[in-house]
């Protein structure tokens, strides 16, 4: 399907736009429209059942007085500060190893990538069976060898450790693929020139790989940071936010405010604030890294 271009006089096809159209429809129906409605609801008192009442900026003012919101946001920030460097480092190491000519390279790539294809709910339930207090495989093995079981999911410290382990396990494969693409884009001539100058592998990595991976690194950090701040299904299935509220992060708290307390207007305002915080962090990261320029 073609049409005449009035400016160039040549033929242009509209077929690519037709292929993109279904994705655009899905994007607008499930992303853009809900986002607009969420922004609208944030200015109303609304419980999802009764008519909405316009209250202006009251929901946003309530957020600044809501200590539980800031507490869960702080826990989310700490969680992000731990998992983002771990994901970055482990994914880069694995990608660096699997970029080499090794046997069964494709198999190893598939094995590391496989967890990313599993639903976060399934990941959470799987790790719950591994680290469960009463029925977990790890505690069974500890008891079998004569050791005391560990309260993995009812201890604040261990519950957070388990959440971090499950998160890293489920996300490393995705970012490994991004790093592999970035590493493959680096010309081998640079490494050959470095070897001729007598540079060690560590020096090559520090002086060539890392600088030329800067755009890829920026993408990985931004995506993993956004992932961390919107983490919810995995924790909900793994710990339920417990013990107490120790692993209740910001998205789960917003969910509870909206659907348990039925304060949809306040929850919408919290979502807008979270969106703004993530946007500021992303823009700051982009600015500090000069847009990923080498």
Q: pLDDT of 199-234, one tens digit each?
A: 888 888 888 888 899 989 999 999 999 999 988 999
Res 291: pLDDT = 59
Q: Model pTM? A: 0.87
By CB neighbour count within 10 A (0-12 exposed, 13-18 middle, 19+ buried), where does 160 fall? Answer: middle
Task: Tell me how far CA of residue 24 lies from CA of 19, 33, 35, 36, 188, in angstroms.
Answer: 10, 12, 15, 16, 39
Q: Which residues of the chain have pLDDT under 70?
A: 1-12, 289-294
Res 266: pLDDT = 94
Res 239: pLDDT = 92
Res 5: pLDDT = 46
Task: Tell me how far CA of residue 49 lies from CA of 36, 120, 259, 264, in angstroms.
Answer: 19, 30, 12, 10
Res 274: pLDDT = 93
Res 134: pLDDT = 83
Which CATH architecture best describes the domain 58-292?
Orthogonal Bundle (1.10)
Res 135: pLDDT = 85
4: left (phi over 0), alpha (psi -120 to 50) or beta: beta
Is the separation of the CB atoms in 69 and 253 below 8 Å? yes
Res 203: pLDDT = 87
């Amino acid at each position: 399907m073609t049409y005449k271009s009035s400016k160039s006089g040549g033929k242009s096809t509209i077929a690519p736009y037709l292929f993109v159209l279904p994705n655009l429809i899905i994007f607008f129906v499930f992303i853009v429209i809900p986002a607009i409605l969420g922004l609208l609801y944030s200015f109303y008192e609304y419980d999802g059942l009764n008519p909405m009442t316009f209250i202006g900026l009251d929901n946003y003012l309530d957020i600044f007085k809501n200590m539980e919101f800031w507490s869960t946001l702080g826990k989310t920030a700490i969680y992000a500060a731990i998992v983002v460097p771990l994901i970055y480092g482990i994914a880069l190491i694995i990608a660096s190893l699997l970029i080499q000519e090794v046997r069964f390279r494709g198999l190893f790539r598939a094995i590391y990538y496989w967890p990313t294809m599993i639903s976060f709910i399934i990941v959470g339930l799987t790790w719950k069976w591994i680290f469960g207090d009463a029925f977990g495989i790890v505690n069974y093995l500890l008891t079998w060898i004569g050791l005391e079981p560990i309260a993995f999911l009812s201890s604040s410290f261990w519950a957070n450790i388990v959440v971090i382990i499950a998160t890293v396990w489920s996300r490393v494969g995705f970012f490994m693929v991004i790093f592999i693409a970035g590493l493959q884009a680096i010309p081998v001539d640079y490494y050959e020139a470095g070897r001729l100058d007598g540079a060690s592998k560590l020096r090559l990595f520090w002086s060539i790989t890392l600088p030329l991976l800067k755009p890829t690194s920026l993408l990985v950090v931004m995506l993993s940071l956004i992932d961390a701040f919107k983490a919810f299904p995995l924790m909900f299935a793994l710990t339920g936010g417990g013990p107490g509220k120790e692993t209740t992060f910001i998205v789960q708290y917003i969910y509870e405010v909206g659907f348990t307390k039925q304060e949809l207007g306040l929850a919408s305002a919290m979502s807008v604030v979270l969106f703004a915080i993530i946007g500021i962090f992303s823009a700051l990261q982009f600015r500090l890294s000069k847009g990923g320029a080498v």
